[in-house]
C-alpha cells in the first residue's frame, strides 16, 4: 500500500528541515529500501525513514490547531444582540426558545454560526416590519 498525501508531505517537510540535499535523499532511498521515490515506501519503511530524520535532528512539530469560526462558542456580544433584537420584537421567553429551536435546533445558540443565523433571521424579520402577533391557538 502506498503512502497518503499527509505522510508524503511529512517526509518532504522532514527532508527540508534537516537540510538534506536531493542527491543524498535519493541515495538514502535507493541504498536502504531500493526505491527511487518516497511514494514507493511501505508504512514500516516510512517509520524507518522518519527515524533517520530524527537522528539527524528533526523533530515533528504539530501546527497549532485552528478552530473554524463555526465551532467557536457564541460570544457575549452576539448573546446581547440576540436579546436586544428579541426585546425589540416584544417576544416572551417561551417564544424565543421556540424560534431558536426552529432556527438552529437548540433552545439557545451554542456556536457563533448558530448565533449569526438567529441574528440575521431576526434582522430580516424586523426589516420586513414584523410586529409581535399573538400565537395561533393550538388545534385540539
Tens-digit pLDDT profile for residues 69-104: 556 888 889 999 999 999 888 888 999 999 999 998
Answer yes or no: do 50 and 83 share one domain.
no
- The answer to whether residue 64 sits within a structural domain is no
- The answer to whether residue 67 sits within a structural domain is no
- Confidence (pTM): 0.46
Q: How far apart are the first and last CA of the chain?
A: 64
Number of domains comprising the chain: 2
Q: Identify the pLDDT of residue 6.
A: 87
- The answer to whether residue 61 sits within a structural domain is no
Residue range 15-19: mean pLDDT, rounded: 90
Q: 39 lies in which domain range? A: 5-55
Answer yes or no: do 79 and 122 share one domain.
yes
What are the two backbone dihedrals, phi and then psi, of residue 66, each rounded to the nearest 5 degrees? -85, 135
Residue 135: pLDDT above 80?
A: no
- The answer to whether residue 27 sits within a structural domain is yes
Amino acid at each position: 500500500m502506498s503512502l497518503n498525501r499527509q505522510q508524503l508531505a511529512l517526509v518532504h517537510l522532514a527532508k527540508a528541515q534537516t537540510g538534506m540535499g536531493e542527491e543524498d535523499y535519493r541515495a538514502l532511498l535507493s541504498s536502504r529500501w531500493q526505491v527511487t521515490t518516497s511514494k514507493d515506501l511501505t508504512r514500516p519503511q516510512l517509520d524507518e525513514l522518519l527515524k533517520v530524520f530524527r537522528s539527524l535532528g528533526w523533530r515533528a512539530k504539530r501546527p497549532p490547531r485552528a478552530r473554524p469560526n463555526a465551532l467557536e462558542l457564541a460570544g457575549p456580544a452576539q448573546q446581547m444582540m440576540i436579546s436586544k433584537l428579541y426585546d425589540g420584537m416584544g417576544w416572551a421567553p417561551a417564544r424565543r426558545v421556540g424560534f431558536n429551536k426552529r432556527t438552529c435546533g437548540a433552545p439557545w445558540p451554542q456556536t457563533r454560526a448558530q448565533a449569526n443565523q438567529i441574528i440575521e433571521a431576526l434582522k430580516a424579520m424586523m426589516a420586513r416590519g414584523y410586529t409581535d402577533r399573538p400565537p395561533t391557538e393550538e388545534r385540539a
